[in-house]
Amino acid sequence: MSDTILANATLVLPDEVIRGALVIREGEIAAIDQGTEVPAGAADCGGDLLMPGLIELHTDNLERHIEPRPKVNWPHAAAIIAHDAELASVGITTVFDALRVGSIGVSGANRADYHEYARALASEILEMRASEALRISHYLHLRAETCSETLLDELAKFGPEDRVGIVSLMDHTPGERQFRDLTKLRDYVCGKHGLSDAEFDDHVASQIALKERLGQTHLEAAIAAAGRFGAVLASHDDTTADQVAQSAGQGVHFAEFPTTQEAARACRAHGIAVMMGAPNLIRGGSHSGNVAAHELAEADLLDIVSSDYVPSALLSAALLLGDLWDDLARGVATVTAAPAQAVGLDDRGRIEIGKRADLIRVRRINGSGALRGTWVKGARVA
């Protein structure tokens, strides 16, 4: 295979930004040279940014493709291909596709209301990956709903061969974590499902009873399953320092979307990386009333960014943070090196000799970033 040379680029290295060129050989970064020279046969990047491919740890995007409108089920193969192509087109080269395991409903009859989907969808993703139908690198992220009835059965269907990289510990019990404000929960649930006040009260009571009956058993099972899969643990919606202390005791590597600055500070004290959503950062605040991502960034309490429900927001957030901190390398690290480190992917996330040539070329336009190219293991995919 001949070398690929990307020259006259603004290289975003782990700790600095320089003008130079990259040599890609056999899917890896083979050389890093400084200067603006464009050797014969090289691609002239014209000063565009060249940075590591983005790494997405938590995205609901696949579910949006599978159910583009409520109760509209799209063919899974077509949805997976479209999801994969969309991520490549916005610079994401590694994704942990989030799949919920464990029923969550709006009544006590969760098992009857719930349609399990994670195992079948995971098999389709893995089959398409094995057949080289996908452009980027896919892993699985199982969102383990501990306040449920079906979690044990669903977890038992996965094993170490399934590329499960993350198990997140979810608890959507009314009155807990993200749903501790029952007024806001009432507005959300009644607005979405059309429940009466009496039906909402029944829902709250049944969910609380369900957690009391199965919550601890399911929590322990999810933690054990992560060990069986070889996956890292993530907490979700930590709100208090006590909850973070519990997460630390469980071996959690990173915290998804802590809802308060108190929780984020506790994460820092326990060595747990803090992940926030790019939409929160770009919009200037949380749509559900939780702590604003920019407040954590300004307080030096933000480590990782996830696109959550807007894939294109990941690149925008990295550039925004680079401007906020006046340190582009640091901003880019929140969507490259930091997520890679959180899940133990040592072969990517940094422009260094010997790392995977997962790269993106970006042109800055009025503070935003226009993607000019995406490479995965040295192959152009977008």
**Which regions of 210-344 does DSSP assign to beta strands (E)?**
232-236, 252-256, 273-277, 304-306
Residue 250 lies in a domain: yes
Q: How many CB atoms lie within 10 A of CB 133?
A: 12
Indicate whether 69 pLDDT > 80: yes
Task: Report the number of distinct structural domains present in the chain.
Answer: 1
Residue 43 lies in a domain: no
Residue 27 lies in a domain: no
Residue 356 lies in a domain: no
User: In angstroms, rounded to a whole number, what is the distance separating the alpha carbons of residues 381 and 376?
Assistant: 7
200 band by pLDDT with thresholds 50, 70 and 90: low
User: In angstroms, rounded to a whole number, what is the distance separating the alpha carbons of residues 382 and 260?
Assistant: 38
- CATH, residue 276: 3.20.20.140
pTM score of the predicted model: 0.91
Backbone φ and ψ for 247, nearest 5 degrees, come out as -60, -45
More confident residue, 334 or 111: 334
Domain that holds residue 101: 54-349
Residue 18 lies in a domain: no
Residue 21 lies in a domain: no
For residues 230 and 160, is the Cβ–Cβ distance under 8 A? yes
Residue 46 lies in a domain: no
Instruction: Choose among 91, 12, 86, 94: nearest CA to 48.
Output: 12
**Residues 6+ positions from 206 with CB-CB distance below 8 Å:** 107, 108
Indicate whether 109 pLDDT > 50: no
First-to-final CA distance of the chain: 20
222-249 pLDDT tens trace: 999 999 999 999 999 999 999 999 999 9
183 band by pLDDT with thresholds 50, 70 and 90: low
